[in-house]
Each structure stands twice: as C-alpha cells, then as structure tokens.
C-alpha cells in the first residue's frame, strides 16, 4: 500500500496530523474507511488494518485525535483536548476529515470505524452527520451507563477546579480504569485487559504515545460526551437507515463483558434503526483488532462492509 501523511486544521486552529493509505492498484477502489482511534493511543496502531483493507480495494484515512499522537506535538501535551467542550471538538475534527474525504472521493461510499473513545466520538458523530456515511462500525464500545456517569462528572468537575483542566489526574485515571484488570488477575501487566496477545500488550507498553495518564479536563469532557451519547432522545437523531455493526470481546471491561454491547444494540433498535448487527467474540478483550483472532475480526469487518457496497 501507499502511505501518505498530511495535516488539516481543527477547532481552535489546531493542526491535526492525519494519515492516508491507498491500494497500490487504484483501478478497482470500492470505498473509503475512516478510522477514529481510542484513548491514549494513535492512528499508527491501525496500520495493519489499513494494510488489510487496502489489499482488498479500500482507501483508509485516520488522524491522531487532539491530545493524542503527533497532533499533541510533544508527550507533555498528551491528554489536552481543548480550552472547553473537548469532546465536541473531537467530533467536529472527525467530521472535518470526513468532508475532506468526500471532496476527494465524492463517488465512493464512506464508512466510519470508531474504537473505544473513538467509538463514543462516532456515536455522537452519527447523531449529527450520519447521513454522510454508508455504514458505521463500533469497536470496544458501550451503551448507556446511568447514574455512574453523573457521579464521575461530579468528581471530575471537582478535580478540574482543584488542579486545573490541563493537569494530569492520577485520581481520575484510577477511578475510570482501576478495576479493568481485576478480571485477569493475577495480571502480568497493568494493561492485560487490552488483549490476550502478550506481544501486542508489550508493544503498547513500549509506545511512548500509549497508556499515558490524561488530564482532569480530558476526563471531564469525555464523561460529558459519554452522558450525551447515552441519551435515548439523542439517539433518535441517528438516521434510521444507517447500517451499524457493533463488535467487541465478551471479556472487554469497557463493554461490561458484553452487557453494555447488548444494551447499546437494544437502544439503537428502540429508536428505529433498521440495520443493527453485533458480534461478541468469546474470550476477546478490549482491542479486538489486536487480539489473537484479529484476522477473523478483520475478515468480519470486510464482509460486513462489502455487503453494503
């Protein structure tokens, strides 16, 4: 595949690092897949998916979200989203890239794949811009979480007032992620919950852009976004004819070991979305694209997309 780097301007005039992967043979391009990556990682971790998709005739785009990867400029800036409303800026940045893609390839169908944090960003994206997409894929996601989000917001608000928006918060990091490894004890690392593949976990640990503790402002903005996308009223704004594929490991703590995935699918059906499918992979953890059965997962993604072409 052919790899390209470019930048575009996001909200607050932020320069955002983006990536494009193109099939070497461009005569039979079928569509475009845009990726919205997860928290405390970067778009570079999706190169293997881009390789698989380009090998099968798809152009792939991704960008490093604000506060992540090369968009953060340096490691000290990781986890800083915006002066305010950081989650909304994440959504708008994704849409800015979508618009650029559609200007470059107006004749090709566009699919959006969001993982983890990027899946929640995608959940809001389709509430505003779902008509732009041929289909959407949600990886490592979750459904409504109830009063626990309000409690988290209250704690995060206090933390912002105490230490400031741009200060790293060990307290909030432990609050959000502290119990994720419990299911896998005795654990080899703090990130065993990501994947059964020890090599992939070690690569994550060795990556300076991954696994960092983020700021109090990030957690407040992120929880605000989680509350927004959890609303059934807001889900009613999603186009009813938008196909959605939700996939996760049934041992993923983010998706409450499958329960959150089933809740999300049920809510989408309640608001009238007609093409909602899901798959829970037995034994799979949070990063199904980095799991021991990732080849199966990528094949499932491709087959789902190709049914819509």
What is the tens place of the pLDDT at every residue in 40-94? 999 999 999 999 999 999 999 999 999 999 999 899 999 999 999 999 999 999 9
Q: How confident is the model over 174-192, as a mean pLDDT?
A: 95
Query: How does pLDDT run across 141-161, given as a tens digit for each residue?
Result: 999 888 999 999 999 999 999
pLDDT at 26 over 80: no
- CATH code of 2-144+232-306, in short, is 3.40.50.1820
pLDDT at 220 over 80: yes
Residue spans per domain, the chain: 2-144+232-306
Q: How confident is the model over 213-230, as a mean pLDDT?
A: 98
Rounded Cα distance, 288 and 156, in Å:
29
The answer to whether 259 and 188 are in contact (CB under 8 A) is no
pLDDT at 293 over 90: yes
pLDDT, averaged across the chain: 97
Residue 215 is given by DSSP the state: B
Rounded Cα distance, 101 and 98, in Å:
5
The DSSP secondary structure of 98-114, one letter per residue, reads HHHHHHH-TTS-EEEEE
The predicted model scores a pTM of 0.97
Rounded Cα distance, 297 and 252, in Å:
15
pLDDT at 2 over 90: yes
Rounded Cα distance, 53 and 295, in Å:
12
Query: How does pLDDT run across 244-280, given as a tens digit for each residue?
Result: 999 999 999 999 999 999 999 999 999 999 999 999 9
Reduced to 3 states, what is the DSSP secondary structure of residue 266? Answer: helix
The residues with which 138 forms a beta bridge, in sequence order, are 114, 246
> pLDDT confidence of 167, banded at 50, 70, 90?
very high
Residue 146 pLDDT: 85
């Amino acid at each position: 595949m052919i790899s390209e780097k470019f930048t575009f301007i996001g909200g607050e005039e932020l320069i955002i690092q983006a990536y494009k992967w193109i099939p070497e043979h461009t005569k039979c391009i079928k569509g475009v897949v845009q990726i919205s990556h997860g928290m405390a990682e970067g778009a570079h971790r999706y190169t293997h998916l881009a390789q698989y998709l380009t090998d099968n005739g798809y152009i792939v785009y991704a960008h490093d979200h604000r506060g992540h990867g090369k968009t953060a400029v340096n490691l000290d800036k990781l986890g800083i989203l915006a002066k305010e409303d950081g989650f909304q800026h994440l959504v708008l940045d994704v849409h800015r890239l979508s618009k650029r893609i559609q200007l470059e390839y107006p004749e090709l169908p566009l699919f959006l794949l969001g993982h983890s944090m990027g899946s929640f960003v995608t959940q809001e994206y389709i509430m505003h811009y779902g008509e732009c997409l041929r289909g959407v894929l949600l990886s490592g996601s979750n459904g409504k979480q109830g009063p626990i989000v309000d409690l988290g917001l209250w704690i995060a608000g206090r933390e912002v007032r105490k230490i400031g928006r741009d200060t790293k918060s060990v307290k909030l990091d432990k609050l959000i992620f502290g119990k994720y490894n419990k299911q896998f004890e005795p654990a080899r690392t703090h990130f065993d919950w990501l994947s059964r593949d020890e090599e992939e976990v070690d690569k994550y640990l060795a990556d300076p852009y991954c696994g960092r503790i983020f700021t109090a402002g990030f957690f407040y903005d992120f929880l605000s976004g989680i509350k927004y996308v959890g609303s059934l009223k807001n889900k009613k704004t999603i186009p009813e004819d938008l196909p959605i594929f939700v996939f996760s490991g049934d041992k993923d703590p983010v998706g409450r070991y499958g329960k959150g995935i089933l809740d999300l699918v049920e809510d989408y059906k309640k608001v009238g979305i007609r093409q909602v499918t899901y798959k829970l992979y037995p034994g799979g953890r949070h990063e199904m694209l980095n799991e021991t059965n990732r080849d199966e997962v990528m094949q499932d993604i491709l087959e789902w997309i190709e049914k819509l072409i």
